[in-house]
Structure 1
């Protein structure tokens, strides 16, 4: 089975179109179509239903997709295992991270790593933490540094590196900031801007409101913490931000009993070989652990 054809098949299945898959693979659309035609002929089945501009997997395509992932992941795993025998820290490291961690936590570690291991080709992708989790799970990223889920299931292993306390915040002139001590029920009465409902941070805050029998008035949504901070700073909404982002643009609300925190760290796939480069970067992350909160792996 031709590996280039399998790569084309996966690209189309993930992107939903031949032209997008061609851009992703840096190929022409006819070249991608030719690879799929060859794969379908080799297997003796049709892999995609083509209805106008809509592309969908056939039953055979749906059956092939997890197997195609396994084949390519096994090949990548074999390459890493053989490359590791040299003991050199080199080659490609596919690293996924959230925008917030990539901007606020990783720069000094990346600087140290690239100076110590100049032969490593870093492939860094900035993704939502939930998307990065799937990238590791399906073998498209070797390592991800993200907001950790409350629970992580095998074969993914999570290691906490930083504790990230959160604060309820508003603009200095917001009514909530001018009322002295406020309660969670007071906050619920005003519009909020939150990360999307599928994010780990959203779930953490929502559970706090649910325990009090309240619903947050979420008027707007974006997954970029810097954008949330900007919207809070102009006074149109309150939100929850990491305390590391607080400055004169926003103020923390004194909410008694409303202590929130999230765990930041890295995840890896336990059933795949890790490159020497990934192990070296993990060692740096382990050295950066918070002394009280980053001592034990989960998952």
Structure 2
């Protein structure tokens, strides 16, 4: 079995559907089916069975599928090591990046890095910071960029800080908040916990939720149109005109700050591409250059 075969088993086990797996891997369904049959012939066992509810894995098939992550990780590490033995910086840089950084910072960051190291390829996983943290922790990526103060035992680098603030179209006071519509949005658990803790320590009743939206960018647009106030990281609104901001403070009068970190394991530095990227990030002013 080669790398492609392990990837087929991994994706098929996740999706339990031939059509979706073929689409994800950009191959035809007949080609996918034929390759699965060839793998079954190699092991002399039936690995998958098609049924009314999609693909079902046999005991042997499930065992192989669960080995896929380990085998793919081993193959990636072998490739990284071989490429790192040469003088040239090349290979695949595997990154985990939070949603906000992906949308607003990552494209420029990778362009600038790519200008110096044009032979480096990228595999980027995006999601909530908690998901990215888990990717780094399990060494599924070389490095991760997360927002929030996670309990990380390995090397890390502070990229930037931002205040949490009340954002509104019209000028309001903190004492007005319980009676005004708040625009809620989906976010990672650490930020939500920080906001909830501040609210419960400031007010004796829950907020008046005007609406719930998908992300912080949408919340800002709703605020710009006067549909309520939002509690947002300052980096989202610092260049927006026509908005009023009130920086939040904790019970000791200190600003409520959200930090963005680069996390990685020491082992990641064995990859030349990862080592150069981590060193490159240290030279970047995330707030002003990106």
Counterpart position of 2:280: 284
| Residues in 1 aligned to 2:147 and 2:262: alpha-carbon distance in whole angstroms | 8
Counterpart position of 1:170: 168
Counterpart position of 1:294: none
| Residues in 1 aligned to 2:188 and 2:247: alpha-carbon distance in whole angstroms | 27
- The alpha carbon displacement at 1:232 in A equals 1.8
Counterpart position of 1:297: none
The structure 2 residue matched to 1:245, chosen from 236, 239, 247, is: 236
Within-5 A mapping of 1:1-299: 1-43=1-43, 46-48=46-48, 50-55=50-55, 57=57, 60-106=60-106, 109-124=109-124, 126-137=126-137, 141-148=141-148, 150-152=150-152, 158-172=156-170, 177-178=171-172, 181-183=173-175, 186-196=176-186, 198-211=188-201, 215-218=206-209, 219-223=211-215, 225-246=216-237, 247-253=240-246, 257=250, 259-269=255-265, 274-288=270-284
- The alpha carbon displacement at 1:9 in A equals 0.8
| Residues in 2 aligned to 1:59 and 1:272: alpha-carbon distance in whole angstroms | 34
Of 12-21 and 120-129, more deviation after overlay is shown by 120-129
| Residues in 2 aligned to 1:57 and 1:168: alpha-carbon distance in whole angstroms | 51
1:150–1:17 Cα change, 3 Å: same
On the 8 A contact 2:80/2:91 being kept in 1, the answer is: no
> TM-score by structure 1 length?
0.76
- The alpha carbon displacement at 1:243 in A equals 1.3
> TM-score by structure 2 length?
0.78
Tell me how many residue pairs correspond in the alignment.
Answer: 279
Cα RMSD over matched residues?
3.3
| Residues in 2 aligned to 1:98 and 1:288: alpha-carbon distance in whole angstroms | 18
- The alpha carbon displacement at 1:84 in A equals 0.7
- The alpha carbon displacement at 1:188 in A equals 4.2
- The alpha carbon displacement at 1:282 in A equals 0.7
Q: Give 5+ residue unaligned stretches, structure 1.
A: 291-299
